[in-house]
Amino acid sequence: MALKVEPILPHFGAECSGLDLTKPLSAEELKEVTDAMDKWGVTVWRNTGLTDEQHVEFSRNFGYLERVPKRPDGQKMRLPYRELFDASNLNLEGEITTDPAAVEYRKGDRLWHTDSAFLEKRTSYSLLLAHITPPPGVGGETWFADTRTAYDDLSQEMKDRIEGLVSINSLWWSRKKAGADVSEEEILERPLARHPIVHTHKGSGRKAIFIAAHTMDIEGMEGPEGRQLIEDLIAHITQDKYTFKVAWNPGDMVIWDNLCTMHRGAEYDYTAYKRDMRRTTVREGTEPHTMDTGDDPYTALFARSPKAVDINSARDAGR
Ligand code: OGA
Ligand code: MN
């Protein structure tokens, strides 16, 4: 069956149907999916019927999947595969978490960002699958923004200004912006990643802005000037005309290409409603079905979390 594609905005986002993602796809079907991703940046797949295992298996078609930090021996994980990032508001028992570090950590997802911009090795696709969603009308949607069309529409002066600039990114900067008690000094002691602010998106040949809530500074610019530019660019990219939101039902999956989009979770009352979302995360430039890359950046990064947002140690303490 052929892929059906219905655009959401004229140049960005599409609802896709007509493929059964629970079964292995043919080479032609896979190409239809990557072509749709290259063109639309975000694809929405309703009622997929995917299990955790099928979610991981389908995701491997797009490259190596990053893994969540290793748990100390014998410690329980909520999700059955290290390839599943837990974007839920639940604790290990599947109840709404009251762990302040976990709540603080998740707040960062409500700021406009691109996944893993705080790592040197960027993420191409994220594939987020809904398992439990809040009832309709109470929030908890996910917003997406088009960083290619936003780039196209910049003035020539702004394009010239940002060409060749390099950003400095930290996971903990986004958590600080969301209210976590982490000092700038603490952030600078931890891993930082540098990325060009403008790059050419491989699949489409279009230029895109690459920036995130993790973007702390711009190399060579003194604090306030760089930070203002970061804020101005995010405000430009996230104007109504470049954005849409997806409302979720269980079974829905959204694939976004972090190299040509930004996203953020919408507000909802996380103390009142369970929201169980699970994400696979593809490393840029890796071959399909790569099972090992010999490194483990998330374990390395979380080994050095500031306490205020250290999910591992909070869970270790049995909270
Ligand atoms: C993510 C993310 C937002 C949401 O999983 O990367 O930012 O709406 N999620 O759950
Ligand atoms: Mn995210």
Task: Identify the residue whose tokens are 């969540």.
Answer: 68
Q: 4-316: which CATH number, 3.40.228.10, 3.60.130.10, 1.10.3720.10, 1.10.10.10? A: 3.60.130.10
DSSP track, 180-244: ----HHHHHTS--EEEESEEE-TTT--EEE---TTEEEETTS-HHHHHHHHHHHHHHHTSGGGEE
Task: Give the closest residue (by CA) to ligand 1 atom 5.
Answer: 87
Alpha-carbon gap, residue 222 to 225, rounded angstroms: 6
Give the residue from 273, 266, 268, 317 showing the smallest Cα distance to 101: 317
Question: Tens digits of per-residue pLDDT, 176-195?
Answer: 999 988 999 999 999 999 99
Question: Tens digits of per-residue pLDDT, 118-176?
Answer: 999 999 999 999 999 999 999 999 999 999 999 999 999 999 999 999 999 999 999 99
142 C-beta closer than 6 A to ligand 1:
yes
Q: Taking every pair of C-alpha atoms in the chain, what is the biggest distance, in angstroms?
A: 56
280 C-beta closer than 6 A to ligand 1:
no
Strand runs labelled E in the chain: 4-9, 12-17, 42-45, 85-86, 123-132, 142-146, 166-169, 193-196, 198-200, 207-209, 215-218, 243-246, 253-257, 261-265, 276-283
126 C-beta closer than 6 A to ligand 1:
yes
Q: Is the pLDDT of residue 319 over 70?
A: no
DSSP-based three-state secondary structure for 130: strand
131 C-beta closer than 6 A to ligand 1:
no
Ligand 1 atom index nearest CA of 142: 8
User: Residue 71: what pLDDT?
Assistant: 79
User: Residue 317: what pLDDT?
Assistant: 45
Residue 53 has φ and ψ, to the nearest 5°, of -65, -45
Q: What contacts 69, CB < 8 A, 6 or more positions away?
A: 298, 299, 301, 302, 303, 312
Alpha-carbon gap, residue 50 to 283, rounded angstroms: 21
User: Residue 112: what pLDDT?
Assistant: 97
Mean pLDDT score of the chain, rounded to an integer? 94
CB 42 within 8 A of CB 13: yes
User: Residue 308: what pLDDT?
Assistant: 63
Task: Give the closest residue (by CA) to ligand 1 atom 10.
Answer: 265
Q: In residues, how long is the chain?
A: 319
User: Residue 1: what pLDDT?
Assistant: 64
Ligand 1 pocket test, pick from 79, 128, 256 with the greatest ligand atom count within 8 Å of Cβ, gives 128
DSSP β-bridge partners for residue 166 = 196
CB 144 within 8 A of CB 42: yes
Domain boundaries, the chain: 4-316
DSSP β-bridge partners for residue 17 = 4
Q: Which residues surround ligand 2, an ion (CB under 5 A)?
A: 115
User: Residue 318: what pLDDT?
Assistant: 42
Bigger pLDDT: 307 or 316? 307
Q: What DSSP element (H or E) covers 174?
A: helix 171-177
Kindly give the distance from the C-alpha atom of residue 155 to the centroid of ligand 1, in angstroms, as a whole number: 31
pTM of the entire predicted model: 0.96
Question: Tens digits of per-residue pLDDT, 255-311?
Answer: 999 999 999 999 999 999 999 999 999 999 999 999 999 999 999 888 877 766 666
Task: Identify the residue whose tokens are 């149907």.
Answer: 17
- Report the Cα 73 to chain-centroid distance in Å: 28
Q: What contacts 27, CB < 8 A, 6 or more positions away?
A: none
Kindly give the distance from the C-alpha atom of residue 67 to the centroid of ligand 2, in angstroms, as a whole number: 15
Question: Tens digits of per-residue pLDDT, 12-37?
Answer: 999 999 999 999 999 999 999 999 99
Q: Computed over its alpha carbons, how large is the radius of gyration of the chain?
A: 19
109 C-beta closer than 6 A to ligand 1:
yes
Alpha-carbon gap, residue 211 to 197, rounded angstroms: 6
Alpha-carbon gap, residue 274 to 101, rounded angstroms: 18
Give the residue from 217, 213, 205, 207 showing the smallest Cα distance to 165: 217
